[in-house]
Amino acid sequence: MALDQAFDYRGDVTVELAKGQVIEGYVFDRRADVPCPYIRVMATRNGRRVSIAYDQITAVSFTGRDTAEGKSWEAWVKKYKQKKAHGEAANLHPESLD
């Protein structure tokens, strides 16, 4: 389901609502196990937290960059091993997400 993917996405999404409103922001919470399921979004424009009922959502687009893309533990270990194999200094400090 697109809302599950939006919750797992580490970037901004654009949510289109049935009333024609569009909200862009980061999906930081979801409640699918309640009588009226909803997501919570931190709006990009003003930083406000908005609750949006599932039945009001007509579309979800993944519009922001996933800030953690390619920065998994496995990717970090692979880079670390490659640097060590080439005799380069490999550090244990994480990369910046920016």
pLDDT digits (tens, 9 = 90+) for 53-74: 999 999 999 887 766 666 677 8
Residue 97 CA from chain centroid, whole number: 13
Same domain, 23 and 47: yes
What pTM was computed for the model? 0.65
CATH classification at residue 23: 2.30.30.100
Given pLDDT bands bounded at 50, 70 and 90, which one contains residue 39?
Answer: very high
- For the segment 33-45, the average pLDDT, to the nearest whole number, is 93
- For the segment 42-54, the average pLDDT, to the nearest whole number, is 93
Same domain, 31 and 52: yes
- The total number of structural domains in the chain stands at 2
Same domain, 94 and 52: no
Question: What are the structure tokens assigned to 38, written together?
Answer: 């909803």
What pLDDT was estimated at residue 93?
65
28 touches 42 (CB < 8 A): yes
> Which residue range forms the structural domain that includes residue 78?
68-98
